Structure 1
Amino acid sequence: MIARRTLLAAGALSPLAACATTPTARPGAELKLATFNIWHNLGDWPARRPLLIAALKAEDADVIALQEVLQDAAVGLENQAAMLARELGDYRVAFVSTDPEGAPRRYGNALLTRLPVTAEASTRLEPLDDYRTALRLRVSVQGRPVDVVVTHLAWQDDAGPVRARQIASLLDWLPRDGAPLVVMGDFNATQDDSGLAVLTGPRFFSALPRGSVVTTLNPAKGHPNRVIDHIFAERSAFAPVTAHLFGDTPANGEYPSDHFGVAATLRLS
């Protein structure tokens, strides 16, 4: 299991926004979420960086899930999640990687939040040879505990059984104390994929209903139209309010990433 202490505090990666603050309360215990595969430093990273910051800042999310986050000392790249936390302001960041802590190059997933954090954990998902992880923060939403999870699953077209095993591993790892649950990330599969059956079944709903958007992969980067980035929330705990794509409009011909982001507002039951 990955070391539990992955929250990046001041000094661990400098400079870093390490102090969580409580944002302006949303009515009816609403929770605004965003998930974005940021494509690490591929493409024109210097051009993409300000677009990524602007896109996330415009969403004003309480919790942000990031995939394909990189830090690489060899090319002078600081941890991208830490950079975004600093640039967005007032966000606390947690990062998970299968690369050892202290390694000059680390690649993984992250969660950023402005809400109070009461617990944090991370794990490797089965099968271990696919090097996939899950990261959980328990946040307080107007005094109520909510678990938010980020993951990034197997990518191969025929990896439905592997994805099913990864999701089972994730759910088996989570606490069973009744805290409402949201699972976000790049699942590398549409909702029709058999590997996502548990998340598309009766327990969860997708913030983006089937057919509501054409793609979360960016066609301008050579990708086919597929909706593979999702926010899944427990039906017993949440009601959908709004959901949309973001980061899907170019600036000077460039986009923030080779994916589009997904943002959603959920209301706690």
Structure 2
Amino acid sequence: MFGLLLVVLLASCRSAPAPTTPVGSEQTLDAVTLNLWHDRSDWPRRQALIVEELRRLQPDVILLQEVLQDAGLPNQAGSLAAQLGYQWYFVSADPPDRVRRYGNAILTRQAPLARGGRLLQPLDDYRVAGWVRFESHGRAVTVYVAHLNFTDTSGAVRAKQVSDLLSLIEATHGDAPVVIGGDFNTTADSDELVSLRARYHDAYVAANGVENSDGPASVTLNPHYHPQARRIDHVFAQTSAFRVVQARRILDEPAPGPIWASDHFGVWVRLRFEATNQTGRAGSPSPGVNR
């Protein structure tokens, strides 16, 4: 162990046509999760593809994993935020004086109301979760980003990290409904995510059905780089606070060259606020109801 610190730093492809904005869109929240694949494979060109798609979609919140900053490489989340006109928040296990820092980030269209983060156990796995509370169309929302372990094939480490994440949510979400996104390095139906499924929609399944959520058209590991591709990048939404309207992959086609945006595909979701339950405890199930 190297005196591991949690540091939270605030610094300030093509796909389907952009979704049609429905009537009453002020009641919806659009979120994207994407693993950036740090600076691999011509980041400047990949960055341009990512910016083009995110500018087209204009989501309310963007959840990023494998975000890197290094000598000669400005923080990737900061670079995306500057081009998109978003606020950004970066969390890392690396100390702030280190030149090379690696972690997760949250980008929001609105300025954060609160923010924070926590290391996930075991500490020598260098995994970190971050959170931001912001207002979307006059409603407070607390969003979380995580990137879980991929080396433990038993899933026990991920299960512990999910427990840490749920503890963080319980301590920080306040009265705001919760959205969670990231690279979970496991499929949404895995045993280690059972506690998440008990409290949150798997947005992709809620929108597309189970039968359409576990085949080649739904994987989020890019098969160009990962022959054993699976759907491991997820967005979870509090069941008592949101109804899932749409969910689909993005950045899942190469640009001419060819050049891919990442070794992961992104996931875009549209959530509708439930008018009858705008707040409530994020840890309580709704009544009746990854690299």
TM-score, normalised to structure 2's length? 0.81
Percent identity, please.
45
Match of 2:142 among 144, 147, 151: 147
**Equivalent residues in 2 for 1:145-184, closer than 5 Å:** 145-156=140-151, 158-174=153-169, 175=172, 177-184=174-181
* Contact map agreement 1:214 1:225 (CA 8 A) in 2: no
Does 2:261 correspond to 1:256? yes
Q: Using a 3 Å threshold, how does the CA distance of structure 1 residues 26 and 41 change in structure 2: closer, same or farther?
A: farther
Residue aligned with 2:102, SS:
strand
Residues 100-126 of structure 1 show CA distances to partners (whole Å, capped at 9, x for unaligned) of 113210000000001242100111012
Residue aligned with 2:52, SS:
helix
How far apart are the structure 2 equivalents of 1:157 and 1:2? Answer: 22
Q: Using a 3 Å threshold, how does the CA distance of structure 1 residues 256 and 58 change in structure 2: closer, same or farther?
A: same
How far apart are the structure 1 equivalents of 2:75 and 2:35? Answer: 15
> In structure 2, what is the equivalent of residue 112 of structure 1?
107
> In structure 2, what is the equivalent of residue 80 of structure 1?
76
Residue aligned with 1:244, SS:
strand
Q: Using a 3 Å threshold, how does the CA distance of structure 1 residues 29 and 106 change in structure 2: closer, same or farther?
A: same
Residue aligned with 1:154, SS:
coil
Match of 1:68 among 66, 70, 74: 66
Paired AA for residue 6 in structure 2: I
Structure 2 unmatched ranges of 5 or more: 13-22, 275-291
Match of 2:250 among 246, 249, 253: 246
Residues 122-157 of structure 1 show CA distances to partners (whole Å, capped at 9, x for unaligned) of 110122121111100011123222110000000125
Paired AA for residue 81 in structure 1: A
> In structure 2, what is the equivalent of residue 21 of structure 1?
none
Match of 1:137 among 116, 132, 140: 132
Q: Using a 3 Å threshold, how does the CA distance of structure 1 residues 57 and 28 change in structure 2: closer, same or farther?
A: closer
Does 2:182 correspond to 1:185? yes
TM-score, normalised to structure 1's length? 0.88
Residue aligned with 2:224, SS:
helix
Superposition CA RMSD, Å: 1.7
- Shift in Å at residue 192 of structure 1? 2.3
Q: Using a 3 Å threshold, how does the CA distance of structure 1 residues 154 and 28 change in structure 2: closer, same or farther?
A: same
Paired AA for residue 87 in structure 2: R
